[in-house]
Each structure stands twice: as C-alpha cells, then as structure tokens.
Amino acid sequence: MKILEHVVLYYVWRSVVDMKVLLNYGLYIVIFLSALQVVIARHETRRLFVELQALERTGDELNEEWGRLQLEQSTWAINDRIESFARTKLDMKMPERSSVVLLAK
C-alpha cells in the first residue's frame, strides 16, 4: 500500500510540476508579446512624429506662400498701378469733359 501511495503522490507531484512549467511558458509568452507590443507602439509613435513634423513644415511653407500672395495682391490692387497699366498696356485715357454724361439718381 505504501508503494501505491508513493506512485500516486509522484503522479500528483509530477502533474503539479508540469502545470508550473506550463504556467511559466505561458508567462514567458505573455511577457514576450507585451514587449513586442511596446516595440511596435514606439515605432508607430516615432513614425507619427516624423509625419507630424513634415505636415508642420508644409503648413509653415503654405503660410509663407499665403503671406507672399497677400502682399502681391495688395501690390497689384494699388490704384496707381491699375491706372498705369490701363494707360500703357490698354492704351486707355481719361475721357474729355464734353463726353462725360452724369446721371441723376
């Protein structure tokens, strides 16, 4: 009877050891997967940061161009420039007083 108890105890102990080994392997796998997820998250963060910097650079360039275009528009809209363009390029001139007709409201 003593041998049978030892055999049963051995198999119980062996199954407990097997469960501990299985649990250890499971924990190793979980730790590895979480570490892999950390690496992936850091890589994605770096990629998004680089993309953000590129978009900010593009935004700055567009703001500079917008300022230049506003300055150019204000230059083109000056009355003297328009009058000069009308006289030289379009060969326009002020009408004589006799040809001007005033309309009343």
Residue 91 CA to its chain's centroid (Å): 52
- 103 vs 41, higher pLDDT: 41
User: What tokens were used for 5?
Assistant: 């108890």
Q: Dihedrals φ, ψ of 60, to 5°? A: -65, -40
Tens digit of each residue's pLDDT (9 = 90 or more) over 9-29: 777 777 877 888 889 999 999
Does this model's pTM top 0.75? My answer is: no
How high is the pLDDT of residue 105? 73
Per-residue confidence at 1, pLDDT binned at 50, 70, 90? Answer: low
Structure confidence by residue, pLDDT tens digits, 80-92: 878 888 888 888 8
Mean pLDDT over 42-61 rounds to: 98
Distance CA 73, CA 67 (A): 10
CA distance 15 to 19: 6
For the chain, domain boundaries: 2-89
What lies within 8 Å, CB to CB, of 93 at 6+ separation is: 87
The C-alpha atoms of residue 100 and residue 38 are separated, in whole angstroms, by 82
Can you give the pLDDT at residue 14? 79
Give the confidence band of 78 by pLDDT, cuts at 50, 70, 90.
confident
